[in-house]
Amino acid sequence: MEIEMASCECCGLEEECTQDYIIEVRSKFEGKWLCGLCSEAVGDELNRVQVVMGKKKKKTKNMAAAEFGLPDAVRAHMSFCGKSNKSNPAFRVADGMRQMLRRRSAAAASPPPSLPASPSSSSSKKLLSRSASTISFY
């Protein structure tokens, strides 16, 4: 079992893979090797376009699926990657993870929209201060 470096033809990310795995991936994508992220993105693009085309052409749904196939989805994703290419694809992956974590931490830090905002400190002092007790003990 030999290990080789495989470079994604979409984003350029390099991974160490077995020859069998490289052959398997290339057989799925017409000879192109795609990393795991790009292969998922291609599958999502294919499904998204087929659903959209199927809704627009309800009578010819089978024809719509035939109009946009896997090679088209790969080309669309390669085009997207080409437009947003940076010098090192690993930085793009890390940048995406950083953005996702920032969004999650910002969402966790903000109060839920259903809860009212807490009163300001000056108004809470007015609500809690009293000049005298209204209860008589004698």
pTM tops 0.75, yes or no: no
For 33, 34, 60, 78, the CA distances from 24, given in Å and listed in that order, are 9, 11, 33, 20
Tell me the pLDDT band of 98, cut-offs 50, 70 and 90. Answer: confident
Cα–Cα distance, 2 to 114 (Å, whole number): 57
Query: Domain spans of the chain?
Result: 3-58+65-102
Per the DSSP assignment, residues forming a β-bridge with 17 are 4
For β-strands 14-18 and 3-7, DSSP reports them as: antiparallel
Pick the closest to residue 36 from 70, 56, 6, 72 (CA basis): 6
Locate 67 and state its tokens. 């109009």
Residue holding tokens 């599958």?
43
For the stretch 48-78, pLDDT in tens is 887 877 765 554 444 444 567 889 889 988 8
Instruction: Give the 3-state secondary structure of residue 49.
Output: helix
Each residue's pLDDT tens digit, 76-86: 888 888 776 65
